[in-house]
Amino acid sequence: MSLFNQILGAINNPEREASSNQLGNILNTVQQLSNSYNTNPSTIQSAMSIVGGFTRSALQQKRNTGGEAQAQNIINQFAGTQANSQVLQMLFNSSQLQAMIQQISARTGINAQTVQAMLPILVPLVLNFLKTGNSTSARQSGNPVLSSFLDANGDGEVDIADAMMMASRYLGK
């Protein structure tokens, strides 16, 4: 099941945190980011897809060493639509950050300095997508969106950009 289908399922489940407003806030932040950096929103979405791949690997490592709860705690602490550079140190070492910056720059044409400035916003946005699966009640545990994201096939392609396009269509934006 695609990431967006998991998110849509969470929106339709009153016991999950997801809402149309949450998706709208993510999309609005991407639009603001593209305006701020004079970049096309689809280019930002492509960058988020690459960030998603690196984030998935980092969260998988956290889950392998500290369990599902550690990955979930990072999401709970750092997901949002505001810049937070602490999340970069929490998830990535310096070589991973450099590799991510280089890959985004090479694929999108955004210069490395700009990519570096965007990362403290892009990573929390990716985590915000994952937070949609959080439970709102004690009766349901686990986060199906996070589980689906972490258990993806590992082909290096994360469908964050696809999820954003579908969310945009879903919200009529």
Q: What pLDDT is recorded for position 158?
A: 54
Q: Give 123-170 pLDDT, tens digit per residue.
A: 999 999 999 999 887 666 788 888 888 876 555 445 677 777 777 777
Dihedral (Cα; 57, 62, 166, 135), 10-degree rounding: 170
Q: Mean of the pLDDT values across residues 107-124? A: 97
- Express each pLDDT in 95-109 by its tens digit: 999 999 999 999 999
Q: Check pLDDT > 90 for residue 171.
A: no
What pLDDT digit, counting tens, does each position of 2-31 carry?
777 888 888 888 889 898 899 899 999 999
The DSSP annotation for 22-41 comes to HHHHHHHHHHHHHHHTT--H
With tokens 């969470």, the residue in question is: 10
pLDDT score, position 152: 65
Is pLDDT above 50 for 119? yes
- H helices of the chain, where? 3-11, 20-36, 41-66, 68-78, 86-91, 94-108, 112-131, 144-150, 160-171
pLDDT at 71 over 60: yes
